Amino acid sequence: KFENGSDVRARNAEVRDQVLHAANVTGSGVQNVTDVWCGYLPRNYLATWPMIVEVTVFTAYMNSGITIQRAWQGIIGTSAAVFNHGFMRLIYPHGENNWFVWLDILGFFLVVLASGSADNTMKFSMFWHAALMMIFLNRSDSRGSFPIGNIP
């Protein structure tokens, strides 16, 4: 119970009904993220929720030992892609689209494929490298303009 005596379950049901109503009224889903946001995580994480499905599919397995192993492989692969993206941001702070960038993109993929790493490490590194470099190449995309090391 809340301090004012209202029941938590009743409040959760009320919020759920408001969200469902907002989704039904717009016809194309909820337009105002404050209607559905939980409030615990930063709002700018909302765009990355679809990737949770991808990460879960690549990571979850039959037992916890292999799942943890795959999670670490994913962290290593993601770190390699983020490190490369950070390196490119140091060279070209505002993004660039030239032969050196394309050489970096193709070279990274070739190094990852030739590395002999675990499949999950390769999947994560290539997935995140492709996503980050598409943002890097698209200078009009504001998602690529975050300062290195500033994770909300």
- What is the Cα–Cα distance from 49 to 26, expressed in whole angstroms? 21
Among 3-17, 18-32, 66-80, 108-122, the range scoring the smallest mean pLDDT is 18-32
pLDDT, greater one: 46 or 127: 127
Residue 103's pLDDT is: 94
Whether the per-residue pLDDT at 26 is higher than 50: the answer is no
pLDDT bin (cut points 50, 70, 90) of residue 148 is very low
Residue 140's pLDDT is: 63
- Tens of pLDDT, residue by residue over 67-94, are 999 999 999 999 999 999 999 989 888 7
- Would the pTM of this model clear 0.85, i.e. be above it? no
pLDDT, greater one: 49 or 116: 116
Beta-carbon contacts of 132 under 8 Å, excluding residues fewer than 6 positions away, are 81, 82, 84, 85, 144
